[in-house]
Structure 1
Amino acid sequence: MAYFVDQFFNGLTLGAVYGLIAIGYTMVYGIIGMINFAHGEVFMIGAFISLIVLLLLAQIGIAAVPVAILVTLVLSAVFTALWGYVVERIAYRPLRGATRLAPLISAIGMSILLQSLVQLAQGAGQKSLPPLITGRITLGEIDGQTVEVAVVRVVIIAVTLVLMAAFSIFVAKTSFGRAQRACEQDRKMAELLGVNVDKVISLTFVSGAVLAAVAGLLYTVYYGSIDFFIGFLAGLKAFTAAVLGGIGSLPGAMLGGLLIGLIEVFWAGYASAEYKDVAVFAILVLVLLFRPTGLLGRAVVEKV
């Protein structure tokens, strides 16, 4: 039972990271109806910026972990947001009126470009970071076994919950959130009513990039090792999470992320670690076959 609890928290931690990335996918799809396949690389860039900032802060003598993480979070969010804006301006805005295939190819090309840039700048090898948050919290005893959870997992889950609550309020209560929902329902009508559609779409990419930056920081702190290729697989799993939860639904993206994290961890722990990725993508196939709208998604009415 202690092993089950440990794996459960491990799955929640991993799922929280997937969920934060998945929100970027689902927001972009909700507004422009396209999948940003460069979003996984934006997450990877956020992880590298976090690693670089943390190492620089350690070199200049900032040893307080909360201060270092807060400074890293701010800087990583700013620089990663800029990359999100660049992706939208280069890969999507010029092709917004084109067929759906053109932006898809452009996004895949941008994904490869970002991978290559980071590989040239940082090398192909793994970059490591010493553990920042250590210790374990004792939850109690079950069947004579002490049940513990790592502090870093609790921190990551708590940060994700707070961030999701704040982001949900931001989308629901602010003028940007209202403009975003208006663009999602009908971009042309929103533009006729005075909504700056280009600005809303750009800010949507930026918002998704900020959440990806947070996910990159949490991933770096949790695993302590990253490379230029982590965005590809994490991006695919986050996309699977968005589809599972219901593409276009923010709660669905987080729910899908948590479920994908739990499925991956429990499959690796109780079945076969070699086939955990197969299990995740098998879920994607099943969802597309039997419930293409996802768990919390809704059918899209085609406007004619």
Structure 2
Amino acid sequence: MYPLQQLANALPVAALYAVLAFGYAIAFGVTKRVDLVYGALFAFAGQVYVLFADVGWNRLWLVLPACLALGAAASLAYTAGAGLLVGRFVLLPLLRASQNALIVAGLGVSIALMEMARLAAKTRSLWLPPFLNTPVTLWTDGTSSVDLTVIQLGNTALMLAIVGLGAAVLHFGRFGRYWRAVNDDPRAAELCGIDARRVFLWSYVVASLVAGLSGILATSYYGNMDFGAGMVFGLKVVMIAGIGGAWHPLGAAAGAALLGLAETLWSAFGPLAWRDPFVFALLVFIVVVGRREQPVP
């Protein structure tokens, strides 16, 4: 029963990694550059969410659902705005520059976002109260059972819905056709009348919203988002997306889900202190062995 419980525990982690990798692949499809800002936006969204929920509870005296709604709305607004500003004034001007320049700029933006959230919270570690933590029995043999909480099941369903809806839009929608055209060849897309710069900005805003929603859902479950989580998740997402192909959103999501499964199983059966070294070593091995080239414009 214990292995089955661990497989069930892997579902929320796999869904989180999948939706993060999906959003990252949308941004990577138009930048073709390693982007550390994406992980910072994920952490920034969670921090803003907790901060405004705290304001709603302690200053506005709102009930918990209203506090969470206020935090979620502010988080999405701030994350989308940050994504638009970063895309327009940092990444777009450096798109034709060397990859190193964009990595350095992304690192600087990540530090700035983390410091902004830290200063706004006055270096306090704010926590949400537990909610929707009622266990739901998935399977039982009479003596023991496999359980997940309501929020774990809800998060998993919402994250998979985001991936499914995003994949449908990319495959059937007009935005998806423009995105694929710019992904394949931005210069040829411009010759066909597509504004590649506008598609780039919209793609980055959409990716930022995916990161924001992921940050809200993850923080709702864990209760907190650490100031340094952006750097760790940024590195993880960059390498996770490379497993399934960072320029292919569904492939990136599938590879990320497998990585989430492996990480959870290691936490269950291996030494916890070696989990992150194991994950990063596995990512490096997979990326190096299965390395595929993608033309850079």
TM-score in terms of structure 2 length: 0.91
In structure 2, the partner of 1:8 is 7
Alpha carbon RMSD of aligned pairs, Å? 2.1
Q: Indicate if the aligned counterparts of 2:20 and 2:237 stay in contact, CA closer than 8 A.
A: yes
Instruction: Tell me the amino acid that sits aligned with residue 227 of structure 1.
Output: D
Q: Is the 8 A contact 1:115 1:229 kept in 2?
A: yes
Instruction: Give 1:300's aligned amino acid.
Output: Q
Partner of 1:108: 107
In the alignment, structure 1 segments of 5+ residues that lack a partner are 294-298
Displacement of 1:106 after TM fit? 1.1
Q: What displacement does 1:51 show?
A: 1.3
Equivalent residue, structure 2, for 1:242: 241
| Cross-structure match for 2:28 | 29
- The equivalences for 1:280-295 within 5 A come to 280-293=279-292
Q: Deviations over 1:33-77 (max 9, x none)?
A: 102111111111110122133334445465474x66555444422
Change in CA separation of 1:62 and 1:256 when aligned onto 2, cut-off 3 Å: farther
Who is 2:145 aligned against?
146
Gaps of 5+ in 2: none
Q: Given the superposition, is the C-alpha separation of residues 115 and 68 from structure 1 closer, same or farther in structure 2, using an over 3 Å criterion? A: closer
1:82 is matched with which residue?
81
Identify which range, 108-117 or 264-273, moves more after superposition: 108-117
Q: Secondary structure at the match of 1:148?
A: strand
Q: What letter is aligned with 2:220?
A: V
The offset of 1:161, in angstroms, is: 1.4
Q: 1:81, CA displacement in angstroms?
A: 0.8
Out of 277, 296, 300, which is 2:294 matched to?
Answer: 300
Paired residue for 2:204?
205
Match of 2:215 in 1: 216
Instruction: Give the conservation status (yes or no) of the 8 Å contact 1:125–1:227.
Output: no
CA distance in 1, matches of 2:21, 2:111: 19
State the AA in 2 paired with 1:190.
Answer: A
1:118 match: 117
Cα distance, 1:26 vs structure 2? 1.6
Q: Show the counterpart of 1:296.
A: none
Partner residue in 1 for 2:192: 193
Structure 1 residue 218 displacement after superposition = 1.0
Comparing 16-25 and 154-163, the one that deviates more: 16-25
Asked if 2 retains the 8 angstrom alpha-carbon contact of 1:47 and 1:217, the reply is yes
Q: Which residue in 1 is equivalent to 2:230?
A: 231
1:194 and 1:229 map into 2 onto residues whose CA distance is 42
Aligned ranges 1:167-178 → 2 under 5 Å: 167-178=166-177
1:93 is aligned to 92
Q: Structure 2: how far apart are the matches of 1:154 and 1:40?
A: 23
On the 8 A contact 1:19/1:256 being kept in 2, the answer is: yes
Partner of 1:278: 277
Q: Which amino acid letter does the alignment assign opposite residue 286 of structure 1?
A: F
Q: Residues 18 and 234 of structure 1 are in contact (CA less than 8 Å); yes or no, is this contact kept in structure 2?
A: no
**Structure 1 contact 31–201 (Cα < 8 Å) conserved:** yes
Check 1:249–1:121 CA distance in 2 against 1; reply closer, same or farther (3 A cut): same
Equivalent pair of 1:48/1:226 in contact (CA under 8 Å): yes
Change (3 A) 1:71 1:169: farther
* Cα distance between partner residues in 2 of 1:284 and 1:192: 38
Distance across 1 between alignment mates of 2:182 and 2:264? 37
Q: What is the alpha-carbon distance in structure 2 between the residues aligned to residue 159 and residue 72 of structure 1?
A: 18
Count of residue correspondences: 296
Paired residues of 1:41 and 1:114 also in contact (CA < 8 A): yes
Which AA in structure 2 matches 1:236? L
Deviation at 1:200, TM superposition (A): 0.6
Letter in 2 for 1:15: A
Query: Distance in 2 between the 1:191 and 1:212 partners?
Result: 28
Q: How far is 1:9 from its partner?
A: 2.7
Paired with 1:123 and 1:179, the residues of 2 have a C-alpha distance of: 43
The one-letter amino acid paired with 1:187 is P
Could you report, residue by residue, the CA deviation over 1:223-273 in whole angstroms, capped at 9, with x for unpaired residues?
112221111112222222201122111112221222222211111110110
Return 254-263 or 119-128, whichever deviates more: 119-128
TM-aligned CA deviation for residue 78 of structure 1: 2.4
